[in-house]
Chain A
Amino acid sequence: MTDATANAAPAPKQGKHAGSLFDADARTKKRNAAETRFRAYGLTAVGIGVAALIMLMTSILGQGLPAFNQTFITLDVYLDEAKLDKNGTRDIEAIKKVSTFGYAPLIKNAMAAKVDELGISFETFGVSGKDAEAMISKEAAAQLRRFVIAHPDRIGDTVEFEFLASGRIDGYYKGRVSMESAEKDSNVTPGQLQLADALKEGGALSTHFNWGFITMADASENRPEAAGIGVAMLGSLYMMIIVLCLALPIGVAASIYLEEFAPKNWITDLIEVNISNLAAVPSIVFGILGLAIFINYAGLPQSAPVVGGLVLTLMTLPTIIISTRASLKSVPPSIRDAALGVGASKMQSVFHHVLPLAAPGILTGTIIGLAQALGETAPLMLIGMVAFVREFPSAPPEGFFDPASALPVQVYNWTTRADPAFVERASGAIIVLLIFLLCMNFLAIVLRRRFERRW
């Protein structure tokens, strides 16, 4: 009977090629069509994903890449002794008394001198001396003051400086500011832009790669051009060091015990369920915990990477424990049995045989956990790291207790600022963050490839 049906089904005999494998019947066609449809769905899904990624990347790269370039104005500044060191004693304390406000006139004079040298005048462009000074970043006075305090012997000389141009002038060369928008803008005039063009022709103004964006600290809203991600990068690095040093040993120890030594009873079951639950807890909850325990109870300082690191450790632990347990589980029991069979103790079998084989999986899990922690902002908000921090933290271990910012926090901070120049810098910081994440994921892949063992 089975034979009969088997013969009957594929052969609805009609036409002269009936029964040929090249000639699909209706049901085969239907199945093939279903498969083609499914492939199309899959392709669409992948396409949507790729399109979203491309959109995200073009938007971020388009907005953020200009942040790595900056416009600079080169001026010869006469370090006027009458203004900087009235008594001529070169006493460092007396020099320090001159605030950055005292340095502003020097820059104004230097700008006037430069314009004279190029054979143009302010009047041609309808700008006043004050407007011309406003074309240079307010950071310039601080830069000058730092130089004079470091080299008091240069007072009285004329020294060449490369100053940052103000955010709007910089925006003009990046297409953010145009002559039309400048007319409506209260912070820049078309005259200033024309003067900037004239300076560029004269070689005093140039745009080039800006290391300052990577090394400098955050800056206030008055000088977006001087803002950098230095402090944020250090803060993130410190936190990652703490997370790595705490989460990896604790996580691995916990998983080894749970996986290899712990008796299987309801208590371990409960622990297992709770660990899985913890992995899904919103990160802000860990922030609240951090505020209550580490700051209010333990008295650790606010805005410090140590607290951030501890909070992120708590957040990363479940991820590491889960991935470590999974990789321990994937080591075949035959390896353990063989080790035990030749007389190794339980601990020897774990540390000499199982752990090395599970290491690639553990490392991958750890790195992915770290990457997740690197991009976290919410828990840091409550422990005071979402802040304006300009002071670089010192070297570890003291630096762990100094205030610092973090990369995603810096992005968040900049997107809320009024000056449009900060949008560009926020995207720039995102690019740096993405590069970090990419490097970490790449490292995870390399480690896995290198140490992976197949059975």
Chain B
Amino acid sequence: MSLVKLTASALAIAAVSATAAAARDNVQVAGSSTVLPYASIVAEAFGENFDFPTPVVESGGSSAGLKRFCEGVGENTIDIANASRKIKDSEIQACAEAGVKDIIEVRIGYDGIVFASQTNGPAFTALEPADIFNALSDKVLVDGAIVENPYQQWADFNADLPAVDIIAFPPGTKHGTREVFEEKVVLAGCEATGAFEAIMAKNGGDKKAAEKACISLRTDGKAVDIDGDYTETLARIDANPNGVGIFGLAFYENNTDKLKVATMGDVMPSTESIATGEYPVSRPLFFYIKKAHIGVIPGLKEYAQFFVADEIAGPDGPLAAYGLVSDPELAATQTAVEAEEVMGGM
């Protein structure tokens, strides 16, 4: 009986493999988990309103998405990579080597990064980059000298902050959010406290090394990297009244009943304050399209156009309602997508 089954299944496999060559008719997207909710909202609306099938959206992180994007051209590679940061030169190079030459860059809007704590916890309602640097960096400036971070409580370096033990949950290094956190908060705090110059003076003006020293976080258990998603950060905050978590604005907006947000440099994070640039910690979100796939994969260009259309990515669209800060230059993006403008300098 097993021989019969074996032959039958072998035949079945052969038969279906033959049909596998048929063209893929759905758009395939992968990349940043920050962009994923937006991409899935758009994919859903796209599938509802067009005759094309709903695009398949995977997550996995910006770097992983771009890596797969750069694997080559063809039906079994993805069409679009979502990214919460700009594509790197090294990635463009890798793409070009694999034959992915014409890449269309689309900026969909901005995302803010907020600091929030439990609603019942102590009041972390006003933070400055300098506070975050003092609390979390492994080396800080005390009385003109760079020393191992001695602070145990927030009040140790800023009397306005609550006298509770420091515990913070920054995103892990595989997140795109981490980069923005390091650059716009920790590094800014490093410069604001004067630690940056002190380190520069010490190492003989090596800017790169000083930056690197600035953003290295303390490892004594006060800064706990979260490699999972924001839900994990939220669970940690729930269990720890003194904890301060770092979230995307959209996540915070969906959990305002559980979280208390802190201002950064006296500015309240909101879609408005991020759009005007007042709120300092924000970053643009992108997706990248393979031009070679336009016209081959049905619905690819329509999906991209639909994504940046006013009714979707505009200030009153569903993306803004979810927490995306819409791009003031959306009209320029729309024309760029329409004209299939590829990235320059290639």
Contact = CB atoms under 8 A, between A and B. Distances in A.
A306 interface: yes
A145 B49 CA distance: 9
Interface residues of A, number: 56
A299 B57 contact: no
Contacts of A138: 318
A253 B253 contact: no
B109 to A, nearest CB: 15
Nearest to A414: B231
A253 B24 CA distance: 35
A100 B45 contact: yes
B108 to A, nearest CB: 15
Contacts of A81: none
Contacts of B256: 184-187
A351 to B, nearest CB: 7
Contacts, number: 143
A120 B230 CA distance: 41
Nearest to B253: A186
B41 to A, nearest CB: 4
Contacts of A390: 43-44, 47, 54
A248 B12 CA distance: 15
Interface stretch (A152-160, A279-287, A398-406): A398-406
A417 B231 contact: yes
Interface in B288-346: 311, 318, 321-322
Contacts of A184: 119, 256-257
Nearest to B318: A222
Contacts of B146: none
Interface in B10-42: 12-13, 15-17, 19-20, 22, 24, 26, 28, 30, 33, 36-37, 39-41
A221 B321 CA distance: 11
A302 interface: yes
Given A252-B2, A401-B20, A245 B12 contact: yes
Contact of A418 (B2, B6, B255): B255
The contact size tier of chain B is 35 or more
A296 B292 CA distance: 19
Contacts of A145: 48-49
Nearest to B41: A220
A389 interface: yes
B250 interface: yes
Contacts of B43: 220, 388, 390
Nearest to B13: A246
B167 to A, nearest CB: 22
> Which of B36, B47, B71, B75 neighbours the largest number of chain A CB atoms within 10 Å of its CB?
B36
Given A181-B257, A391-B47, A400 B16 contact: yes
Nearest to B247: A418
Given A99-B311, A101-B311, A185-B257, A221 B37 contact: yes
B188 interface: no
Contact of A300 (B48, B53, B76): B76
Given A100-B48, A246-B13, A418-B250, 4 more contacts: A138-B318, A300-B20, A384-B56, A387-B58
Interface of B: 1-3, 5-6, 9, 12-13, 15-17, 19-20, 22, 24, 26, 28, 30, 33, 36-37, 39-41, 43-45, 47-49, 51, 53-54, 56-60, 71, 75-76, 78, 119, 228-231, 250-251, 253-257, 311, 318, 321-322
24 contacts: A177-B257, A184-B256, A187-B254, A222-B41, A245-B5, A248-B2, A249-B3, A249-B9, A252-B2, A253-B6, A295-B76, A300-B17, A301-B20, A381-B60, A386-B58, A386-B59, A387-B59, A388-B39, A388-B43, A388-B58, A390-B47, A391-B47, A403-B56, A420-B254
